[in-house]
Amino acid sequence: MDFGGTTVVSDLSFDVRRGETFGFLGSNGSGKTTTLRALLGIYTPTGGTLHIDGRPFTPETGPRLGYLPEERGLYKKESVIDVMTYFGRLKGVSKKGAVVWSQNYLERVGLADKAKTRVEKLSGGEQQKVQLGVTIMNEPELLILDEPTKGFDPVNRRLLMDIIEEQKANGATVLMVTHQMEEVERLCDRVILLKDGRAEAYGTIPEVQNQYGGTMIRLGYSGEIPPSPQYEISTRSRNYAKLTLAESFDEALILKELVDAGVLVRSFTTSKLSLEEIFVQVYGEQTEKVSA
CB atoms under 10 Å from CB of 169, counted, come to 9
Per-residue pLDDT at 288 exceeds 60: no
φ and ψ at 48, to 5 degrees? 90, 160
Q: What is the fold, at CATH topology level, of the domain defined by 214-271?
A: Alpha-Beta Plaits (3.30.70)
Tell me the per-residue pLDDT of 7-40, one tens digit each, with 9 for 90 and over: 677 778 889 999 999 999 988 778 888 888 887 8
pLDDT at 6: 67
* Maximum separation of any 2 CA atoms in the chain, in Å: 74
Q: State the Cα–Cα distance between residues 237 and 221, nearest whole angstrom.
A: 10
| Residue from 253, 269, 266, 270 nearest 221 by CA | 266
pLDDT at 102: 97
Q: Using pLDDT thresholds of 50, 70 and 90, give the confidence band for residue 292.
A: very low
pLDDT at 136: 94
Average pLDDT, the chain: 87
Q: State the Cα–Cα distance between residues 292 and 289, nearest whole angstrom.
A: 5
What are the residue boundaries of the structural domains of the chain, listed by start?
A: 2-209, 214-271
Q: Using pLDDT thresholds of 50, 70 and 90, give the confidence band for residue 152.
A: confident
Write down the pTM of the prediction.
0.80
Give the pairing of strands 21-26 and 173-177.
parallel
Q: State the Cα–Cα distance between residues 178 and 192, nearest whole angstrom.
A: 11
Tell me the angle at which helices 124-136 and 80-90 cross, rounded to the nearest 10 degrees.
30
Per-residue pLDDT at 192 exceeds 80: yes
Q: What is the CATH number of domain 2-209?
A: 3.40.50.300
